[in-house]
Every structure is written in C-alpha cells, then in structure tokens.
Structure 1
Amino acid sequence: YKIDAKMQELGEDMVKHCAGLPLAIIILGGILATRYPSLTEWLKVSANVKSYLNNDKGEVLRDVLALSFDDLPPYLRPCFLYLSHFPEDYEIPADRLIQLWVAEGIVSSKQEEGDEGQIAEDVAEGYLLELAERCMIQVRERDIATLKIRSFQMHDLMRDVCLSKAKQQKFLYIADHSNECQLSTIGRVRRVSAHKFFWIQCIKSPRLRSLLLFDELLPNEEWENILPLTMISYFENRREESVNALDCFVGVLIISVIVTKIRGIWKYMFNNFNFLRVLYYEGGGDGGCKLPNDIGKLIHLRFLGLRGLKFLCTKLPSSLGNLRCLQTLDLRIESLCFNPIHVPNVLWRMQQLRHLYLPEECNRKTKLKLGTLRNLQTLVNFNTKNCYVKDLINMTSIRELEIRGPFNIEDCNTKELDKNPPIIQSKYLHSLSIINEEGIIDPRHLAHLLLSCENISKLSLDVEIRRLPEYHYLSSNLAYIKLRRCKLEEDPMPTLAELPYLSMLELHEKAFIGKEMFCSGQAFAKLEYLSLRWLNFLEEWKLSEGAMPCLRRLEIENCRQLKMLPDGLRFIANLQELKIESMPKTFKDKGEEGGEDFCKVRHVPSIIFQNCEW
C-alpha cells in the first residue's frame, strides 16, 4: 500500500524512539502491520510509542515489547500468555499448540460458530499467524505444501515479557525443584508447567485445569534420592565383579521401588486433579509398570498426551473409555520390553475426538471400531490389521491420515476400481501418508484409496508398491510427493511430470530401482525442489530442454551408479543451489570447475559437495 509523506515522517519519528535497536524496530513494524494504513491509525500508535518510550536507551527494548503485548486485541492475549508454558528455546509445534488452545477453551465456541463457519482449529491457526505478523514469535518451519506455520520459537526477551505478564495475571505457575515447597502452599493454581522434574505431590490445588510436563516422571538422577543407601552402595562396590543371584535380587528390588514411586505419581494425579482438562506429557522415559485404571476418573479431560512414555505392561486400561470429552488423544507410548501395545476397543465412545494418534505397533488382539468418530481431523498410525477400513468413510472431517502397517481392502473389485464404494468422503483431507516397513501394498488397493483423496496436496509413500498408480488416480492438487522404498520398476517421472502444481518431489532409498530416468520437455512446470537419495540402481538421468523450468534446489545423495549430471540442467536458469553428497570422487570431479559437467551448472550460484572423497 502507498504511504504518504506525513505517514513516512511519522514512521521515521517512531523509529528514532527505538534507539537503533533492531528487535525494537521489528516489533514496532509488527504493530504497524496489523493496523489499517491510515494517518489516523498511525497517529494512535505514535502516541502510544511516545507514552511508553520515554526512558533511557536501556529501557527502550523492554518498553517496546510491553507495548506489543498491550496492543494485542483481547482474544490474542491468552493465546500469547499460553506460550509461557514452554521451556526456553523450545521449538513449539504449531499443531500441538493449537490443540492445546482448543482444549483449554481459549478458542471459544462462539468463534467456532462464526459467520464464516470456521472450525476452532482454523480460527486458532489465524491467531497464530497474527502473532507471527506482529513479530511476537519467530517461525522456524512452514508446511512444504501450504506454507502454514509448522513450528516456531520465541525470542528470549519476548519470552521474558510473556513470563512476566503470565505471572502478573496468575495465568500459570512454572514449577521445579526450587519452588515446589512454595507451590504446596498455593491452593488455587489453575495451570502448572514443569520444565524440570519436581514432585507432583506438591501441587495441592484440587481445581487444577492443566498440567504440562517437559521432563521425565522420575529422572535417573533422582533415583539416588529415593533408593536406600544400602542398595546404592551395594552396586557401587560390585562394579568390577561378575553378576550373581544376589545382584539380580537387589536389581528387582530397585525396579520395584522405582515402579512404586512412579505409580504413586500417577495415582496422585488421577485421584486429586479431577477437574483436569489438559494432561500433556513430553518428557519420555519410564512410565512405570502400567497406566493405572484411575485415569478413567479424569472425565473432564480434553487433551491427553502420553507420547514417548515406556511401560512394562503394554495393555492400556479400558477405563480410557470414560474420557468422553477428549478432543486430542496421543497414545504413541512404547514398551520397555519392545512388545506391541494393546489398545482396548473403547475409543468409539470418545465422539468429540478431533485428533487421534495410535501406537506405532498394536498387538494382534487390538481391533478398534472408529466409525463413530465423525469429528476426527487427524488420524495417525491407522491400519487394517487393528482397525476397520469401512470406518474411514464416516470421518467426513478428516484432514490428515497416516497409515502405518498393512492396508488391505476386503471384497475390492480390482478390475473395475471405479465400481467400488469410496473409502473416504472427506473433502478436507489434504495429507496422506502410508508407511509399511515389512509388507507390500497391492497397487490396485492404493489406486482405489487415492481415487477417494481427490483434494490432497501432500502424499508420502514409504512402502513397497512396485508400480505407481496411473496419473488419473492422483490428485491434481498435489504439491508435495515423497516416495521411499517403493521399489518402482518403471520410471515414475512421466506420470509425476503431469501434475500441474507439484513443487516438491523426493525420491529416496529404493523409491525407483530402474537404471534410467527421463524428464521430457515442459515436464514438471512448477517443480522447485527435487531430491534424489540412495537410488542405488540409477545410472542415467536425462533432462530435456524446457523441463523443470522453476527448479531452484537440486540434491543428489548416494546415487553411486549415476554417471553424470543431465545436460538439461544448463537450461534451468532458476536453479540456485546444487547439493551433491556421498557421491564417487569421479562424479565430483566432473561437476567441479574444469570438469566435463561443469558447463551444465556453471550458472548455479551455490554448488555444494559433501563427503565425495572416496
């Protein structure tokens, strides 16, 4: 937009008040960016700047940061304060934060039922984008297909402001060893975040609503404080000696003491925090013998995250079915004995569930009915061994689907695929991922599944399929494709080249097992990034003039049979970076200045060679 002379003068005057501090200028720019570009609006900001920034240079930055918070609209303030839950320098996953906002009710139902008909997650995504536009968060990663924020961090000084404001407003309590005694005297704490270990039994607030844990339930360094000194000294004295029966007995005693302590932590949580809405566990580590049945008492839970916890017993309690208010459930737990996890068939009761993350591997007795979960937006680690493929059609709001393990369609008409009923009827599905490290998926079943995914923009296949489905089975909206271990026998390039919006393509680790790839003229019109890794059989890659005109980054790694760079690279004027890694020295020599392939890439500003010395 156009800025007249008076506004420019006003802007320069405000910048002077920032005392030349880059962060202060950036934050001020973020404030102005959210205002309508009129002289009246800028005058209001200028008045605030002058009222805030009347101190010496050392206070200017703090005052600008305070102004950025005070300038927030009411609906954004709790969203910003919520960021104080996370540890310093923590890279915050955007999807997880949005799920927490929704679970806490920070995105209200009125906003969810607004005129535009946006669901709560979309509203929250808009809030996050607004914080980014105000330069209150620093974006670290964006979605490769949609460019939406995937993760972000906070500047240390901005985080200090966030912590200070959260403390002033008693928004939350950050607990650790140093203040756990103080916490035990506070009876009305609503939110607790533990960046380091502390004894949860110190929390005496029965109306606690949210508990976020970023360290282990019982870290190894705490064992010395709970184990009898005789046990510790016994093993210290026997470090150099061979194991005997007494060692095993003492080891079992130690394990029983630790398991009992951890069970006590779980029991205290489940029996004393009956109003808990959020239980977020991010620390990994030992979860004890098993998840106690008492978890079923937390009937107000909206968010339950147990990812990374390791249990001796791999059977989850059926009392999970009592948690009917759950919106997000993350069951990606692990077994200390490396056994598959058993999930009871109770998840169908959680009809408000929006995001479900199943264990990576469930045992053969697990068989889940999920057809009642009509509000589900995210489903991770689905497979047809432990779930029913027919349930997918009821999930009309599904946006992200990850299949891990076998995927077979019963009674599938493989001769006339279009005669089969659709598998998915959600028009919102934008991401499909299939992972199967052991088996093979029938390419006809895959083709039928893809036929139901007409709007997806991201496709990741990490499974043996041998043959890529024909072009008309693929969504024309695909912007990102990753193929890994597919063992394609025919060149996939002619099929993929026709996708009109494909901007990123990754072919990794036996994605293609043929010897020759060919990209004809006018192919891959929008492709900007191409990665070829561990294609062990690829010997020749041909690239015609006019192919990949928008390519900006090309990576070739460990394709050790590839003889030379394609001639067509010389015609790609937009190519900015060529990275060649773990290739034979002869290949590197050809691509360097003076080599026979250098004329093909001499126009590329950045050519990187790594580990090509052998």
Structure 2
Amino acid sequence: MVKHCAGLPLAIVVLGGILATKNNSLNEWRKISDNVKSYLKKAKNQRPEDVLALSYDDLPPYLRSCFLYLSHFSEDYMIDMDRLIQLWVAEGIVSSEQEERDGGEIAEDVAESYLMELVERCMIQVRERDVATLKVKTIQMHDLMRDLCLSKAKQEKFVFIVNRSNASSLSMIRKVRRVSVHEFFFIQCIKSPNIRSLLFFNQFFPKEELEKYLPLEVLNYVEKHNGDCCNPLFWILLISTASTRHLKIRGICRYMFNNFKLLRVLNYEIGRAYGFFGGWELTSDIGNLIHLRFLSLRNHDILRSKLPSSLGNLRCLQTLDLRVYNYKIHVPNVIWRMEQLRHLYLPSRCKSRTKLKLGTLRKLLTLVNFNTENCYLKDLINMTNLRELVIKGAFNIENFNEEELGENPPIIGSKYFHSLFILTDSIDPRHLAHLLSSCTSICKLSINAEISKLPEYRYFSSHLAYIRLECCPLDEDPMPTLEKLPNLRILEFEETFRVNEMVCSAQGFPRLESLSLAWFNNLEE
C-alpha cells in the first residue's frame, strides 16, 4: 500500500492512521488496500495526495463535522484544544443535551475523545501537551491536510471563508450558516439573517480601511507622534481619527447585533495591532443575540469602560470570554442569569464597584480571573462541576476562624476539580491552607504570590503531579513538605527561596521527573 503514497510521508502516516482504526485481521487490511487502489483509479490524475481524501471518506459521520470545522482556522494557525472543543459544543456538533438525559460523560469529554480520534488517524498534528496530564493543548494542520479540509468544506458548503480572493464578491454570503473572516470586510455585505456563527481572525477595522476616510498623512502623523502628550496638534488629529473610526465601528456592530439574531457563535479575539486604531464598540444591542452560546472578546480594547447590562439577556451562553485589553472595566451584575455557562473568563482587572454573584452557575467547568474583591467566595461551593479555577487579584476569607482551620466552611464544592492557579500580590498562608484542604483531587497547582511559608503537607492533595511556585519569597525550605507528595512529577521554582540551603532526603520525591530552578540568588547549598 505504501507504493501508492509515492514517498509522501504525510500520506504514509495517514494511511497508517486508517489501518490503526481497524482490527488487525488480514481481511480488514485487504479491504483498505483494495479501497486505496480503486479510489486512485477513479482520480483522473493519480496523486499521493488522493490517499488523504480516502482518510476523510473513512471517517464516521460524527467525526466529519469535527474535521470540517477546522477549515475555519487560517493557515499555520495554532489551535487551542479547549477553545476548539468549546466551539464544537456551542455549535451543537457535540451535544451537551445528552449528558443531562443520561447522566453520562459531559460534552467536553466526548469532544476530547473525538479530537483524539482525529489525532490517532493522523489528520491533525499535536503541537503541545499539558505537562501534568499529558493531554493535548494545541494542535495544527499540515498544509496538504488543510487543503483537503478546505476542499471538502467548500463542497459541503460548511463555511464561507472571507479572504483577499473573495472579499470583493460577498454576494455569495446569503445561504451559508457559518462565516470565518481572515481579511477585513464590511459586515453589511452579509445579507443572510440565518447566519449561525461568525469567527474573526483579523482586525475588525484595521488602519488600511481607515485610510479610505482620512488622509494617509494624518494617520502617519498620529502614529509617529503617538505618546507626545505636549503636542496639541497630535491630540486634535487623534480625536478626529478616533471619532471617525468610532462612528464606523458603531454602525458595523449595530448592524451585526440587530440583523444576526440567530447567531450562536461570535468569536472575535485578536491582538491589539494598532494602538488607538484598535478597539470595539460593545453596544446594548448585543442583548438581541438571545441564541448566542459562545461569545469571546479576548484581547479587545472596548471603547467604553463599562459593559452593557443587556449582556444579561444572553441566557443561552455556554462560553463567555471577557478578557479584554482595557486596564479596568466594570462588569454589571448580570452574569448570574446565564445558568447554562460552562466556561467563564472574567476581565483581569475590574473596577472596584464590580461585584458579581455567581452562585447560580452550577454547570461551570472553568472560572478564570476570580477574586474576592469583585466576586463572592461562598459562590464557589455551588459550582459542583468546576474543574479549573484561576484566582487573579485579592483572595481573603471573611470571618476566618484563626484558631481551628477545620471549623471554617469548605470553599470548593466540586469533586472534579483538578487545576488551581493563584496570581495575587500576597496570600495568608492559613487562607491558602484552608483553600488547599478543599482541593482534594487537584493534579496541578501554580502559585505566584508573596507568601512566607507553605502549608503543612497534610493540606496538599496526594494527586498533585505538577507544582509551580513563582515569586514566592519563602522563609523556610519547602522541600521537606513537597518531597512527601507521592505523585509529584514536575516541580518548578522561580524567584522563590530566601533561604540559602535546600535539603532533600534520600527517600523523598518518589516520582519526580523534572526539577526546574530559576533566579535563585540566595541559594548556596
């Protein structure tokens, strides 16, 4: 069979992936061999790439949509596995309804198994794995496999991709349900009210488009003198530029929010490429998208420092990513209405008046940028499905019993909880000990906070496989505590020790595979 691949390594690997899915009987392998021969005979020009097409035809129906969905992403794009799975679930490619009826696997676990099938078939390439669990973190597509994916997606009218080759002929966007934007275009070109998903991989309103409305000399002057606070001409031109752009973007957003009312997925996360040319207007009209299940505004510069309260209308949301570029932003207390939420990413910094009730979010699996200034600590106990928690900012336990830690109410109420990340200025060691005592099943722990000493060994989960301590100026050697953890495989320190001696016993660290020490200025022995 290898001779049909004409020496193309990818074709050989993919053919091996097909064989790996079959049982090892001679008859099954003969069928594959005959299929390869007959498939290539049908092709007018026999090429080794045609073997790749056979890999698609061999996919079971439930994997075909998963594979075709990869056509959304641009060439050489590094695809985050968690984000891809969230999109699959939001689109209904992997259903979240069955888990409620049958009490079986959650949709994200089913989707992960589908992804691993595509990996085993060698149709996607693994780029990064989680250091603790070895699960896939990022994937990528080989150029030839991506060409196949794009070809099949076009045949199936699965998605319309906006790029330089078709941006000028967008009248085609009438019946398609999914649109992936790789190059800028005006949303008003989409005339279909039935569009279900809209994914952006480029700037919403880049500098090139602004040139159509303002002289190039003005834009170049503003860029050249960016930050020149004493130059009055700079501020006059900057205000003119921003006003022009603001009006255009406001019109684009209102059109989108008022005309695509069946939208399920709105993914618009980009880097801030042009400073003041970046930015987006999140108007109250977004509350019209009541069917929305996925909304990401990651890395966006929201033009106002307050999100609209109409976000509370989005009761079907499963993923909400508010990690915007703004220094501080106010989030209205409406997220508690989104009881279907499974993944919530709060802004890294919220204004002091932000106070969110999250106790109704019982389906939540991921909670990022939680802190006790903008949220209620007691709400975590209601999140019985929580798997990952990122604490960023203040973490304090009110009415804390200093005398007996066990008398304080538990903090985490999920038995599926496996990852805890803490990023704060400082944390009370006793508060940390009580938090860890609730995390009986975690396998990953990362702490970046000023803390004088680690809690005693009995507060750490025996399942811990990965620990990272960064900028934790410990006054005591942590090794006598950490070496007792039976499953610890990876241990990382960065700017951690104040002591000059580190001691490990002969029988300590029974499963340690990797130890990383960085910026240890005081350590001598």
Q: 2 CA distance for matches of 1:115 and 1:249?
A: 63
Give CA deviations for 1:492-525 in whole Å, capped at 9, x if unaligned. 111111111111110012x121101011102111
Q: Label 1:59 to 1:255 Cα distance change in 2 as closer, same or farther (>3 A).
A: same
Give CA deviations for 1:262-293 in whole Å, capped at 9, x if unaligned. 11221111111111000001223356464111
Corresponding residue of 2:451 = 465
- Percent of pairs identical after alignment? 66
Corresponding residue of 1:568 = none
Corresponding residue of 2:470 = 484
1:529 pairs with 502, 514, 520, which one?
Answer: 514
Corresponding residue of 1:557 = none
Q: Label 1:520 to 1:297 Cα distance change in 2 as closer, same or farther (>3 A).
A: same
Q: Label 1:320 to 1:115 Cα distance change in 2 as closer, same or farther (>3 A).
A: closer
**What's the CA shift for 1:111?**
5.1
- Does the alignment pair 1:147 with 2:138? no
- Does the alignment pair 1:327 with 2:312? no
Q: 1 CA distance for matches of 2:122 and 2:29?
A: 18
**What's the CA shift for 1:248?**
3.0
Corresponding residue of 1:538 = 523
Structure with the bigger RCO (C-alpha within 8 Å, sep 6+) is: 2
**What's the CA shift for 1:90?**
0.5
Q: Is the 8 A contact 1:111 1:123 kept in 2?
A: no
Corresponding residue of 2:48 = 61
Give CA deviations for 1:323-363 in whole Å, capped at 9, x if unaligned. 0000000000122xx3x110000000000000000000001
Corresponding residue of 2:364 = 376
- Does the alignment pair 1:364 with 2:355? no
Q: 2 CA distance for matches of 1:37 and 1:105?
A: 34
Q: Is the 8 A contact 1:290 1:316 kept in 2?
A: no
Aligned AA for 2:30?
A: L
Q: Is the 8 A contact 1:23 1:61 kept in 2?
A: no
Corresponding residue of 1:400 = 388
State the secondary structure of the residue aligned to 1:60.
coil
Aligned AA for 2:322?
A: L
Q: 2 CA distance for matches of 1:358 and 1:256?
A: 28
Query: Which is greater in Rg?
Result: 1
Stretch moving more, 41-50 or 322-331? 41-50
Aligned AA for 1:443?
A: P
Q: 2 CA distance for matches of 1:58 and 1:143?
A: 42
Q: Label 1:99 to 1:358 Cα distance change in 2 as closer, same or farther (>3 A).
A: same
State the secondary structure of the residue aligned to 2:169.
helix
Corresponding residue of 1:593 = none
Q: 2 CA distance for matches of 1:391 and 1:535?
A: 38
Corresponding residue of 2:121 = 134
Q: 2 CA distance for matches of 1:259 and 1:365?
A: 27
Q: Is the 8 A contact 1:262 1:287 kept in 2?
A: no
Q: 1 CA distance for matches of 2:320 and 2:220?
A: 42
Q: Label 1:58 to 1:460 Cα distance change in 2 as closer, same or farther (>3 A).
A: farther
Output aligned runs, 1:520-599, within 5 Å: 520-540=505-525
Aligned AA for 2:183?
A: K
Output aligned runs, 1:163-562, within 5 Å: 163-228=150-215, 231=218, 245-285=232-272, 288=279, 290-335=281-326, 338=327, 340-436=328-424, 439-509=425-495, 511-540=496-525
Q: 1 CA distance for matches of 2:431 and 2:225?
A: 59
State the secondary structure of the residue aligned to 1:53.
helix
Q: 2 CA distance for matches of 1:492 and 1:131?
A: 42
Q: Is the 8 A contact 2:173 2:191 kept in 1?
A: yes
1:28 pairs with 3, 6, 15, which one?
Answer: 15
Q: Is the 8 A contact 1:180 1:202 kept in 2?
A: no
**What's the CA shift for 1:39?**
2.1
Q: Is the 8 A contact 2:467 2:491 kept in 1?
A: yes
Stretch moving more, 176-185 or 197-206? 176-185
**What's the CA shift for 1:109?**
4.3
State the secondary structure of the residue aligned to 2:353.
coil
- Does the alignment pair 1:124 with 2:95? no
Give CA deviations for 1:145-189 in whole Å, capped at 9, x if unaligned. 111110010000000000000000000000034313322343112
Q: Label 1:389 to 1:165 Cα distance change in 2 as closer, same or farther (>3 A).
A: same
Q: 2 CA distance for matches of 1:380 and 1:242?
A: 36
> Which ranges of structure 2 fall in alignment gaps of 5 or more residues?
none
Q: Give RMSD over aligned pairs.
A: 2.3
State the secondary structure of the residue aligned to 2:245.
helix
Q: Is the 8 A contact 2:160 2:178 kept in 1?
A: yes
Aligned AA for 1:199?
A: F
Corresponding residue of 2:73 = 86
Q: Is the 8 A contact 1:331 1:359 kept in 2?
A: yes
Q: Label 1:114 to 1:38 Cα distance change in 2 as closer, same or farther (>3 A).
A: farther
Give CA deviations for 1:297-346 in whole Å, capped at 9, x if unaligned. 100000000000012321000000000000000000122xx3x1100000
Aligned AA for 2:363?
A: N
TM-score norm. by structure 1 comes to 0.81
Corresponding residue of 1:157 = 144
**What's the CA shift for 1:197?**
1.8
**What's the CA shift for 1:57?**
12
Q: Label 1:82 to 1:250 Cα distance change in 2 as closer, same or farther (>3 A).
A: same
Q: 2 CA distance for matches of 1:236 and 1:71?
A: 53
**What's the CA shift for 1:231?**
4.8
Q: Label 1:298 to 1:20 Cα distance change in 2 as closer, same or farther (>3 A).
A: same
State the secondary structure of the residue aligned to 2:212.
helix
Aligned AA for 1:456?
A: I
Aligned AA for 1:519?
A: C
Aligned AA for 2:374?
A: N
State the secondary structure of the residue aligned to 1:184.
helix
Q: Is the 8 A contact 1:185 1:204 kept in 2?
A: no
Stretch moving more, 58-67 or 513-522? 58-67
State the secondary structure of the residue aligned to 2:32.
helix
Q: 1 CA distance for matches of 2:260 and 2:82?
A: 26
Q: 1 CA distance for matches of 2:423 and 2:225?
A: 46
State the secondary structure of the residue aligned to 2:430.
helix
**What's the CA shift for 1:61?**
2.2
